[in-house]
Amino acid sequence: MPSNHLAMKFDQHLPTDRLKPYIKYFVVSEQAFEREYKVFPSTALVMGFQYRGQLNSIDGDNLHKLSSAGVTGITDRFKVFQNSVDIGTVLVYFTEVGFTHFAAHPAHELAGLSLSLDALFDPSSIAEVEEKLAAATGDRQRIRIVEQFLLNQLRDIETDQLIAQAIHLIYQSQGAIRIKELNEKLCISASPFEKRFRKVVGTTPKKFAQIVRFNAVLDQLGPSKTLTEICYENNFFDQAHFIKVFKQFTGDTPEKFKRFV
């Protein structure tokens, strides 16, 4: 499920030690008013439980009602959502390799989708979580309920260390490393590497690197650097390519986006 960065409340909570290798943090998000908002691509899957209210996705003129318990896969373009009045959500932000430790479903099959958790886990266990969340009276209690669900789903599998190393190298280069260079550094050929990466992370190494680079660009937007400097520092071929990719990820040109930063 997406995040709501202009929410009336958007409070982060760290996971228990047992879950820290797989989950970056939880968020309790509440919004008093109905509104539409964009969510930009991120490098990991996000799970959400609405304990009140309704969330919809918007695709052009089409509005799709989302399940109250769902997961959103990695995408390489922005998505638009609409929340109802007085919505409350617990969000789970996984690490890049985290989701695969809870669901047997290959992560890449969720790419670009917002899917009901009933499709991935026992529906009765999802219903139990929703029932408990509806009765919960505080944020810590809500977090504990979701943590317990995740602990119950946690699979006894090893993290793919080669893929973890690939993720580290991509971040180290701020998404600029070429996939051929990655293959050479990791001593693995292109096809098996891409297959393993997609299964664990949820997208191809190339798209993942593009998302990392995009987020590096977002971090650099501001008065201290020109768009030309940002373009070339982040290894875009030229300004036209930079604008095209930026518009794909945000729906706006860099110049228009920068004015609101």
Question: Cα–Cα distance between 195 and 178 in angstroms, integer?
Answer: 17
Quick one: which of 193, 191, 204, 195 has its CA closest to 165?
193
Amino acid letter, residue 137: T
Question: Cα–Cα distance between 3 and 89 in angstroms, integer?
Answer: 9
Question: Cα–Cα distance between 49 and 68 in angstroms, integer?
Answer: 6
* pTM score, whole prediction: 0.92
pLDDT tens across 140-170, in order?
Answer: 999 999 999 999 999 999 999 999 999 999 9
pLDDT of residue 260: 67
Quick one: which of 27, 44, 10 has its CA closest to 146?
27
pLDDT of residue 60: 86
Q: In what order do the strands lie in the sheet with 62-65?
A: 35-39, 79-83, 55-59, 62-65
| Mean pLDDT split into 10-residue runs, the chain, 261 residues | 58 97 96 93 96 93 94 94 96 97 94 94 97 96 98 96 97 94 96 97 96 92 85 86 91 84 61
